C-alpha cells in the first residue's frame, strides 16, 4: 500500500533504475553482438582470401620510378617476379637496403622457392655499374657469384625520399659457387643468366 509521497518517489526511482539496467544490458548485448559479428566477419574474410588463388604473373612489371615495390627479370628465360607471401620466414618479399651510403643490396623472393639477390658498391644514379655479389636460388640449385660484372643502372637513386629504381643484367657462370639442393643432381655447366631486370623499391637506410 502506498502511504505517502515518499512511497511514490521510491516506486518511481525503482522503475527508472530498472529501465536504466535494461538499457545497459541491451547496450552491452549490442556491443558483444557487434564484436562477435566483427570477429566472424574477419575470420570469413581471411578464410575467403586464403581460398582465393592469386594468379601467377605472366609479364614483367612496368619500369617505374615512384617506389611501387616491384621487381622482375628473366632467369634462364624463365619469368621471375617478386610476390608478397613468397619470402617464407624472411621479413619481406622485396627489400632494398643502403648500408652506410656505400653498398646497396637488393633481394627479391618469388614463387617456387626462388630468390634473386645482388649488391652494388658506391651506388650512383644513371651510371653503368657492375654487380659485386649475386645470388640466385631455385628448387634445384643455389648460385653464388662474386665480382661477376654484369650491368646495373640506377635510373633513380633518391636517398631523401627513399626510392631506388633501376635495370640490370648479369650471369653467375659455372666456376662460381654452385651447389645442388639434391646431392645426386648433376651440376655440370649450370649457369644463372639474369636478363631484362627492373625494379622500383622503397629503400631502407642502415648505418653501422
> What are 90-132's pLDDT values in tens digits?
456 899 999 998 999 999 999 888 999 999 999 999 999 999 9
**What is the reported pLDDT for 188?**
64
pLDDT at residue 182 tops 80: no
**What is the reported pLDDT for 152?**
98
User: What b-and-e string marks burial along 10-41, b requiring 16 or more CB atoms within 10 Å of the CB?
Assistant: eeeeeeeeeeeeeeeeeeeeeeeeeeeeeeee
**What is the reported pLDDT for 74?**
97
**What is the reported pLDDT for 91?**
52
Average pLDDT for 172-200: 80
With a CB cutoff of 8 Å and minimum separation 6, the contacts of 208 are 99, 100
Of 13, 53, 134, 180, whose CA–CA distance to 5 is shortest?
A: 13
**What is the reported pLDDT for 40?**
39
pLDDT at residue 194 tops 90: yes
pLDDT at residue 2 tops 70: no
- Give the helix/strand (H/E) hosting 5: helix 5-51
Cα(95)–Cα(133) distance, rounded to whole angstroms? 16
Per DSSP, the residues of 7-59 read HHHHHHHHHHHHHHHHHHHHHHHHHHHHHHHHHHHHHHHHHHHHHSPPPPP-S
Average pLDDT for 26-50: 44
The full set of domain ranges for the chain reads 1-52, 70-206
Between 154 and 146, name the one with better pLDDT.
154
Average pLDDT for 22-40: 44
Q: Can you give the pTM of this predicted structure?
A: 0.71
Question: How far does the chain reach from its first CA to its final CA, in angstroms?
Answer: 86
> Phi, psi (5° rounding) for residue 161?
-95, 5
Amino acid at each position: 500500500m502506498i502511504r505517502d509521497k515518499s512511497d511514490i518517489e521510491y516506486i518511481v526511482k525503482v522503475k527508472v533504475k530498472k529501465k536504466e539496467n535494461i538499457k545497459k544490458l541491451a547496450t552491452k548485448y549490442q556491443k558483444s553482438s557487434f564484436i562477435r559479428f566483427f570477429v566472424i566477419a574477419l575470420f570469413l574474410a581471411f578464410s575467403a582470401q586464403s581460398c582465393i588463388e592469386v594468379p601467377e604473373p605472366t609479364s614483367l612489371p612496368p619500369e617505374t620510378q615512384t617506389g611501387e615495390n616491384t621487381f622482375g627479370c628473366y632467369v634462364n628465360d624463365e619469368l621471375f617476379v617478386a610476390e608478397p607471401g613468397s619470402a617464407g620466414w624472411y621479413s619481406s618479399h622485396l627489400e632494398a637496403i643502403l648500408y652506410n651510403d656505400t653498398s646497396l643490396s637488393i633481394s627479391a623472393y618469388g614463387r617456387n622457392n626462388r630468390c634473386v639477390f645482388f649488391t652494388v658498391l658506391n651506388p650512383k644514379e644513371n651510371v653503368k655499374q657492375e654487380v659485386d655479389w649475386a645470388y640466385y636460388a631455385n628448387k634445384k640449385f643455389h648460385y653464388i657469384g662474386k665480382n661477376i660484372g654484369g650491368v646495373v643502372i640506377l635510373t633513380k637513386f633518391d636517398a631523401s625520399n627513399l626510392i631506388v629504381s633501376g635495370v640490370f643484367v648479369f650471369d653467375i657462370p659455372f666456376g662460381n659457387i654452385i651447389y645442388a639442393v639434391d646431392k645426386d643432381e648433376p651440376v655440370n655447366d649450370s649457369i644463372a643468366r639474369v636478363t631484362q631486370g627492373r625494379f622500383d623499391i622503397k629503400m631502407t637506410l642502415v648505418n653501422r
